A and B are shown apart, each in its own frame.
Chain A
Amino acid sequence: MIPWQLPLAAVPEIKYYLFVQGLYPLIIIESIAAAAICLYGSYRSFSRWLMGQPIPIPDHLGARLANVLRYSFAQVKVWRHRLPGVIHSLIFWGTTLLLIGTILDAIESEITLRLFHARFLIGPVYLWFKLAMNIGGLMLIAGILLAYYRRARRITPNLPMGPMEHYMLLSLLTIAITGFFLDSVNTYAYRMSYMFPYDIVGYSLASLYRDLGITVAQLVPAYRAVWLFHMTLAIMSIGFIPYTKFSHIFVHGGLNVLYYRLEPPSAFRPVEDLQGKVERGEVVGATTASELTWKERLDLDACVKCARCTNACPAFASGKPLSPMHLVQALREAVHAGPSSKLVSDGPLAPEAYWSCTTCGACVRECPAMIHHVELITDVRRGLVSTGGAVPEGLSQALYNVMRLGNPFGFDPDERTRWMERVSTDLGIPFAEPGEEYDYIYWVGCNTAYDPNLRPVAESLLRLLKRAGVKVALLREETCCGEPARRIGDEYLFSENARSVGEALSRYRFKSLLVSCPHGYNNFKHEMPLYGVRFDVVHHTQLLSRLVAEGRIEPADASGIRVTYHDPCYLARWNGILEEPRSLIRATGAELSEMARHGADSFCCGGGGAQFFFDIKIGERVSKIRASQASATGADTVVVACPFCNSMFRSEAQSFGLRVLDVAQLLEGGRGALDQAPRGT
């Protein structure tokens, strides 16, 4: 029967509290108790997040609500993985449908009916409503069964399955199943005539009772018990949301997305009132729970232990003592333990865990709860640096070198100058002079400027630019751009360094800075502006691809050669530059074989996050894992676009028989460049 065929005599409507009138006061009491428990839990959560700070008022509401639509409702990050995306959507939308239905139920029974003797869930609306509720319930059950299947089969590695996870799945499953039972008894009692097929589950069960010869009266005692159980479970589940992982619906879905950064995540949040903190002798960064920002504390509560971060983490994959998920969970426990609890201790919070991070950002990209693990780690690193805590010796040395010599390695700054002077003479590239205007000032970067293996990259690039007629200059005052200092956690050194870099550059006129190091790129683009140093910056792959497109550079021929391209984290993942380097490789005619993890999902070379300057002597080398991935493509040449990646691959090249070339070298030399780069050097 379809709605418009309904006989007027049988206008469908809901009989509220059928068989359970006497239990009504109990439900009211439970609801009040649940509301109190929920309010208290929420209050506790808020005070934990704020720790005395005022509630921040969000700005740019439009953009923030757009984020809510994107991340909380469309759940685009959850959907990055298909099966969990399906499961989560089934459960989320199933529950949402049921919740909306239950709310409509409640409005009619408790408000419109009591106050105005009016109903709106009647007739065809009621039938469609019933259908929607059935679909919701079935989605929920299907989602939960799939979730159990996924977890039982361990389809996602490292996924925890504890009492909390069982509670969440089982409570929802129980509510859904008992709901269907209650529904079936109602249908059996008074609406068999019109509930097919809208109440498909209830109607089918009711038919079963009829066929088995069970009477409504026989069902009533069971009905009353199940009704009370169902209502209590549902009401109390809601009441206990702030204490369970269900809280992510509001903590993540609501708050942490609403307050999610509007600036790029690779800007990495600066330290507020840095100068003041330095002057007053306060901790810069975080050593205790109260020294985290309120948003960081909020984020920790948004974690749902989905293990995506850990499964994407190169440090974890290589057996380092860092698992982003366990780190976040342990930090969360620390915050729950009170404002003065220490963020560095043992286990997941061991200093080595923090120092294992390559800041590759794979965790941040994966996290559906919008947690910024790298910032948390950086903040604790800052705390360790500013309080003289457990900072690895190599990193203290790197900081000292940056401060004293303007490079993290401890090389004599004159070595950079001498090389630049030679390049300037040999290639006819001028040093920048005030008053002269340049298209680009090439900020070479410490790695390239000091490493004899990498200097040829800069030289290739400069020859290409000269051929293309680009007016490019070198900078006599070039020094460390400060990126290592910021990754290690010396924000003060970084800010002072940024200021002097800004002063040096502001003496010259140029359209844009040119860098060949993605770390420098990110720094100039997103990080230095935090301290008021703003220059337009391009990465050499961007500039070269433009020049090739404009026909100003004739790419050398590398046809017949199979290469793989390693996406640098700071170019691809953090800055979305994926196409330009690939277009350059294609332009040479080389055949590109992609690694399984490429593009924005690239796997770190192991050199980022200041890992270059020291070694956590635990586990496998990240670089070795990546080199084996490169080798698995069958290509014997790895094309890189970052001096850090370049060095890391070189250090592994010999064992894998790989050649390592920068994009610029391939573009300039083609097949010839490969001959000059013997395997394993």
Chain B
Amino acid sequence: MRIAALVKVAMDPNLMKVEPSGEVSLRQTAMAIAEYDRNAVQAALDLRDKLGGQVAALSASTWGMSSERRKDYEAALREALAMGVDEAHMVLDDSLTGVPLDTARALAALARSLGGFDVYIASEGSSDMVSGQVAPMLAAILGLPAFTYVKRIEPEGGSLRLTRDLEDALETLRASPPLVMSVTGESSKPRLPTLMQIRRAFSKPLKFYSLADLGVSPSGRARRTALRALVQKRKNVYIDGSKPDEAASKLIAALAEEGVIRA
């Protein structure tokens, strides 16, 4: 079975750096495989272990900086290889700016150029943007069925029994490859790679492509015009609790103001 794990090299929100202009620094913020994409990789590896075959990691840049941060993109993909993926392919192009439609198109072109896959596994959303739409978009472009928010994957004969984790229900479906799915954080237990695994994965193939290589171009229908950091990470507002009722009213009013509770 040919399995593709869709991997985003994401900005790490916990290590966000900010330019003096207030923009998130795309140059300095550390990048890594998006957290849930590790689940996608692990789910692909688990499936390979059960059914045999190969896993390729497919990626497309969403943050530009293709030359300045090429090393970081590479390092993140090496992690996927270290986790056990057989090969990695990435569309690295400055004209990809994180518009999900363009990302999905680039990935579809990449997949086609590699001869297509039986199963595509993405995560439900990336840790930096949580757009959550690349998997279904990819399915639509490739003309494949899509199974989103999959929590459990059970091979059953030639098909897969997939359980979707929806807001109010668990939904079980029968699915036959070729197909695209997105998985949740509970779908697998990804193992973080060790330095030694990364080192040992250096011999595995890792290839970069430009959009021109694949003969596609961005839709031009949308572009990211800003990514502004919210100034303060934590507000550190202190409320004196020695008068409990007063403190409670103050806190509840503040939380309602924040829009996180109804008051």
Residues of A within 8 A of B32 (CB): 404
Task: Find out whether the CB atom of A412 lies under 8 angstroms from the CB atom of B14.
Answer: yes
Q: Does B226 interact with chain A (Cβ within 8 Å)?
A: no
Complex CA gap A388/B82 in Å reads: 11
Q: Does B195 interact with chain A (Cβ within 8 Å)?
A: yes
Task: Find out whether the CB atom of B192 lies under 8 angstroms from the CB atom of A386.
Answer: no
Task: Find out whether the CB atom of A396 lies under 8 angstroms from the CB atom of B14.
Answer: no
Task: Find out whether the CB atom of A493 lies under 8 angstroms from the CB atom of B15.
Answer: no
Task: Find out whether the CB atom of B15 lies under 8 angstroms from the CB atom of A492.
Answer: no
Task: Find out whether the CB atom of B196 lies under 8 angstroms from the CB atom of A278.
Answer: yes
Q: Does A232 interact with chain B (Cβ within 8 Å)?
A: no
Q: Does A397 interact with chain B (Cβ within 8 Å)?
A: yes
Residues of A within 8 A of B27 (CB): none
Task: Find out whether the CB atom of A493 lies under 8 angstroms from the CB atom of B195.
Answer: yes
Task: Find out whether the CB atom of B196 lies under 8 angstroms from the CB atom of A399.
Answer: no
- Closest Cβ of chain A to B252, distance in Å, is 28
Task: Find out whether the CB atom of B194 lies under 8 angstroms from the CB atom of A385.
Answer: yes
Task: Find out whether the CB atom of A410 lies under 8 angstroms from the CB atom of B14.
Answer: yes
Q: Does B199 interact with chain A (Cβ within 8 Å)?
A: yes
Complex CA gap A78/B143 in Å reads: 76
Complex CA gap A396/B196 in Å reads: 13
Residues of B within 8 A of A388 (CB): 191, 197
Q: Does A431 interact with chain B (Cβ within 8 Å)?
A: no
Task: Find out whether the CB atom of A278 lies under 8 angstroms from the CB atom of B194.
Answer: no
Complex CA gap A159/B32 in Å reads: 52
- Closest Cβ of chain A to B236, distance in Å, is 13
Task: Find out whether the CB atom of A403 lies under 8 angstroms from the CB atom of B15.
Answer: no
Given contacts A388-B191, A396-B191, A404-B32, contact A492 B199 (CB under 8 A): yes
Task: Find out whether the CB atom of A492 lies under 8 angstroms from the CB atom of B14.
Answer: no
Which residue in A393, A412, A493 is a CB contact (below 8 Å) of B194? A493
Residues of A within 8 A of B15 (CB): 405, 412
Query: What number of B residues sit within 8 Å (CB to CB) of A?
Result: 15
Residue of A nearest to B189 (CB): A393
Given contacts A278-B200, A492-B199, contact A403 B194 (CB under 8 A): yes
Task: Find out whether the CB atom of A396 lies under 8 angstroms from the CB atom of B192.
Answer: yes
Residue of A nearest to B14 (CB): A412
Task: Find out whether the CB atom of A492 lies under 8 angstroms from the CB atom of B192.
Answer: no
Which residue in A393, A405, A412, A492 is a CB contact (below 8 Å) of B195? A492
Q: Which of A386, A404, A405 has the most CB of B within 10 A?
A: A404
Task: Find out whether the CB atom of A493 lies under 8 angstroms from the CB atom of B191.
Answer: no
Complex CA gap A284/B193 in Å reads: 15
Which residue in A284, A393, A400, A414 is a CB contact (below 8 Å) of B196? A284
Complex CA gap A390/B194 in Å reads: 14
Complex CA gap A612/B195 in Å reads: 21
Task: Find out whether the CB atom of A397 lies under 8 angstroms from the CB atom of B192.
Answer: yes
Residue of B nearest to A284 (CB): B196
Complex CA gap A493/B193 in Å reads: 11
Residue of B nearest to A413 (CB): B15
Complex CA gap A412/B30 in Å reads: 10
Residue of A nearest to B193 (CB): A400
Task: Find out whether the CB atom of A399 lies under 8 angstroms from the CB atom of B14.
Answer: no
- Closest Cβ of chain B to A327, distance in Å, is 24
Residues of B within 8 A of A397 (CB): 192
Task: Find out whether the CB atom of A490 lies under 8 angstroms from the CB atom of B194.
Answer: yes
Chain A 456-471 interface 0/1 with B at a Cβ cutoff of 8 Å (1 = within): 0000000000000000
Q: Does A496 interact with chain B (Cβ within 8 Å)?
A: yes
Residue of A nearest to B83 (CB): A388
Complex CA gap A386/B193 in Å reads: 10
Residue of B nearest to A281 (CB): B200
Residues of A within 8 A of B14 (CB): 410, 412
Given contacts A404-B32, A410-B14, A412-B15, contact A386 B195 (CB under 8 A): no
Residues of B within 8 A of A492 (CB): 194-196, 199
Residues of A within 8 A of B191 (CB): 388, 396
- Closest Cβ of chain A to B169, distance in Å, is 29
Within 8 A of A (CB), among B193-222: 193-197, 199-200
Q: Which of B14, B17, B196 has the most CB of A within 10 A?
A: B196
Complex CA gap A570/B69 in Å reads: 41
Residue of B nearest to A493 (CB): B195
Residues of B within 8 A of A412 (CB): 14-15
Residues of B within 8 A of A414 (CB): 17
Q: Which of B17, B191, B195, B200 has the most CB of A within 10 A?
A: B195
Residue of A nearest to B200 (CB): A281
Residues of B within 8 A of A400 (CB): 192-194
Task: Find out whether the CB atom of B192 lies under 8 angstroms from the CB atom of A278.
Answer: no
Within 8 A of A (CB), among B7-47: 14-15, 17, 30, 32
Task: Find out whether the CB atom of B194 lies under 8 angstroms from the CB atom of A496.
Answer: no
- Closest Cβ of chain A to B127, distance in Å, is 14
Chain A 391-434 interface 0/1 with B at a Cβ cutoff of 8 Å (1 = within): 00100110110011100001010100000000000000000000
Task: Find out whether the CB atom of A490 lies under 8 angstroms from the CB atom of B196.
Answer: yes
Within 8 A of A (CB), among B160-210: 189, 191-197, 199-200
Residues of A within 8 A of B189 (CB): 393
Complex CA gap A385/B193 in Å reads: 10
Complex CA gap A558/B143 in Å reads: 78
Residue of A nearest to B197 (CB): A388
Residues of B within 8 A of A404 (CB): 30, 32
Residues of A within 8 A of B30 (CB): 404-405
Which residue in B17, B195, B200 is a CB contact (below 8 Å) of A403? B195
- Closest Cβ of chain A to B194, distance in Å, is 6
Residues of A within 8 A of B195 (CB): 399, 403, 490, 492-493, 496
Chain A 556-568 interface 0/1 with B at a Cβ cutoff of 8 Å (1 = within): 0000000000000
Complex CA gap A404/B82 in Å reads: 14
Complex CA gap A385/B194 in Å reads: 8
Q: What are some 16 contacts across the A-B interface (CB < 8 A)? A: A278-B200, A284-B196, A386-B194, A388-B197, A399-B194, A400-B193, A404-B30, A404-B32, A405-B30, A414-B17, A490-B194, A490-B196, A492-B194, A492-B195, A492-B196, A493-B195
Q: 6 closest pairs, A vs B, by CB?
A: A400-B192, A492-B196, A493-B195, A396-B192, A412-B15, A403-B195
Which residue numbers of A lie inside 8 Å of B, CB to CB?
278, 281, 284, 385-386, 388, 393, 396-397, 399-400, 403-405, 410, 412, 414, 490, 492-493, 496
> What would 9 more interface pairs be, CB under 8 Å, given A388-B197, A396-B191, A490-B194?
A396-B192, A396-B194, A399-B194, A403-B194, A404-B32, A405-B15, A405-B30, A493-B194, A493-B196
